[in-house]
Amino acid sequence: MTTYQGFTVTEHDDGVRLITFSRPERLNAMTQGLKRDLIEYVTAAQMDDAVRVLVFTGSGRAFCSGDDIGSGAGYRTPPDTVPAIAPGHDSALGTVNGLRVYSQGLNVALRNLDKLTVAALNGPAVQTGLSLALSCDFRVASTDARLGSATLRFGLMPDEGGHALLLQQLGLGRTLDFLLRKRIVDAHEAHDLGLVHEVTTPDELLPRALALASELANGPQASMRMLKRAVYVAADATFANALEDIALRTGMTDHHPDVREGMAAFREKRPPQFNG
């Protein structure tokens, strides 16, 4: 296990990495230092061929309760291994810079990751925690989970990108209802809304999330990563652009060894052995 600012990383089989937020006394609220380390880790994972799937979860009773705005000092924790960067938020321009570099930067890093991601929601996922969960490809929720933005309770905005991520999941009308009415929903309502893919018991949450991660990790990685990227591109593109994008990607994947293995396994009536 490797320890970073506010989270640990544990290696599992098949290229699965479990990222556990480790500030239970603050309900895993995020600091600038945590966000910076996490952006660095996600960037490293993109470039590491040994990594296939990232799983995010929290320690204690929360997944992530948002930004650490209560303690103040924790918000400015400097990185341990590189020189500190100014936290921003000390002026109008500082707030814009802080959002772009840290809060929005974390969700951009996750969405730009070709490797697959799973959020295992063990408890409340609020504000930044909700946005991080929605930036992942899959979400498995414990019955203890609660999901919401609720920034308007403080007169604040979902400035890390939560509004856009919710819009992709809920559509316009339900996003306005969710945000403007400051809703926080339980796991079953989140499932009904399409915010999570599966609801399970607290004891089964991590085994289920890791089983899903292992399933994903053993699929044909090149095609899966290309397909993930194609789906996200299609969400923001015209139909014509989506067709062109997936045609170009298919030109690469059709000639990958995994396709030859998949076809051979089909003919020979055996399970394929991808990623050789």
In which residue ranges of the chain is pLDDT below 50? 73-75
Among residues 217, 243, 260, the one where a domain terminates is: 217
pLDDT of res. 177: 97
Q: Are residues 230 and 116 in the same domain?
A: no
Strand partners, 126: 148
Q: How many CB atoms lie within 10 A of CB 63?
A: 31
Does the residue 197 lie in any domain?
yes
Q: Are residues 228 and 134 in the same domain?
A: no
Strand partners, 4: 7
Q: What is the 3-state secondary structure (H, E, C) of 170-200?
A: HCHHHHHHHHHCCCEEEHHHHHHHCCCCEEE
Shortest CA distance to 79 belongs to which of 42, 41, 45, 36? 36
Domain around 128 = 2-217
Structurally, how many domains does the chain consist of?
Answer: 2
Structure tokens at 35: 């966000």
8-24 core/surface letters (b: 16 or more CB in 10 A; e: else): ebeeeeebbbbbbbbbe
Does the residue 158 lie in any domain?
yes
Q: Are residues 183 and 244 in the same domain?
A: no
Task: For the chain, give the mean pLDDT.
Answer: 93
Task: Specify the DSSP class assigned to residue 100.
Answer: I
Dist. CA 37–CA 30, nearest whole Å: 11
Q: Are residues 141 and 261 in the same domain?
A: no
Strand partners, 186: 146
Residue recorded with tokens 């609660």: 146
> Is-contact 56 119, C-beta < 8 A?
yes
Q: How many helices (H) and strands (E) does the chain have?
A: 11, 10
The 10s digit of each residue's pLDDT in 187-214 is 999 999 999 999 999 999 999 999 999 9
Dist. CA 18–CA 213, nearest whole Å: 10
Q: Are residues 232 and 213 in the same domain?
A: no
Q: Are residues 132 and 168 in the same domain?
A: yes
> Is-contact 254 265, C-beta < 8 A?
no
Q: Are residues 146 and 97 in the same domain?
A: yes
pLDDT of res. 222: 96
Sheet holding 184-186, edge to edge: 125-126, 146-148, 184-186
Structure tokens at 247: 């045609």
Q: Are residues 204 and 230 in the same domain?
A: no
Q: Are residues 196 and 250 in the same domain?
A: no
pLDDT of res. 109: 96
Which residues does 160 contact at the CB level (< 8 Å), separation at least 6?
A: 99, 103, 104, 106, 107, 127, 128, 131
Dist. CA 271–CA 255, nearest whole Å: 20
Q: Are residues 164 and 209 in the same domain?
A: yes
pLDDT of res. 140: 98
pLDDT of res. 56: 98
Does the residue 276 lie in any domain?
no
Does the residue 245 lie in any domain?
yes
Q: Are residues 241 and 129 in the same domain?
A: no
Does the residue 273 lie in any domain?
no
The 10s digit of each residue's pLDDT in 54-83 is 999 999 999 999 998 765 544 455 556 667
- CATH code where residue 144 lies: 3.90.226.10
Q: Are residues 45 and 65 in the same domain?
A: yes
